[in-house]
Amino acid sequence: MGPVVDWGHRDYGDALGAMRRAVAERRAGAIGDTLFFVEHPPVITVGVEGDDGGAAASGLPVVRVERGGHGTYHGPGQLVGYPIVDLDRRGRDVRRYVHEVEAVLVDALATFDLRATHVSGRHGVWVDGERKIASIGIAVDHWITLHGFALNVDLDLAPFEQFRPCGLDGSLMTSMARELGRPVGLGEARSAVGSAWVARFGGSELRPPLGPAAETPSAA
């Protein structure tokens, strides 16, 4: 299995290109299953289910991508994870994979004494079944996963109210900082999610940010 790698702060378009290259490398066997962490500057991404036009009206940059779901917001203070996983070796069960990713986030949040759950019929992770703290949207290319999850750690939630994130009212979105009533560092969240990922998916612990010349790890 591959490692958990931190890309640091990275433009969405740049990260998208690197993610797609990682998919090709995983398919070729050049790398193992790998989770990439990243923090993006403000951007709205829109999945294959589209949105109600609010994303464009928000005034924020909008990028349309091949993942499932509607539109969502990425910005500073949010931990984004892009798992590149070969589902051919995991039974080709996309639904189970999504639930496993949700479980990783639930496990990580539990280390902060934050009780979060999956809500039947809805993707993502919720607090008290009412407030969404993490969004999930994936794509699968020849059974290799791309895109992933966005965990609201300590960010300005106002941009979510400028459109309908995941087809929902933006007021339903919450963050770790809001729920805990204190500032939460992105490093705290990275450590917790990385450990929870390794516990469920295997691999090695978090590596530091990679430079442009070494954006994917060697085979594992």
CA pair distance 199, 104, nearest whole angstrom: 9
At residue 218, the 3 state secondary structure works out as: coil
- Which pair of structure tokens corresponds to residue 188? 């705290």
Active-site choice (79, 144, 166, 206) = 166
End-to-end, the C-alpha distance of the chain in Å comes to 6
- Which pair of structure tokens corresponds to residue 133? 């703290």
Annotated catalytic residue 166: yes
* Residues with Cβ within 8 Å of residue 102, at least 6 apart in sequence: 118, 123, 124, 125, 134, 136
* Residues with Cβ within 8 Å of residue 24, at least 6 apart in sequence: none
The backbone torsions φ and ψ at residue 118, rounded to the nearest 5 degrees and listed phi first, read: -80, 140
CB-based contact 176:109 (threshold 8 Å): yes
Q: Write down how long the chain is.
A: 220
- Which pair of structure tokens corresponds to residue 4? 């958990």
CB-based contact 87:64 (threshold 8 Å): no
CA pair distance 163, 36, nearest whole angstrom: 27
Catalytic residues: 166
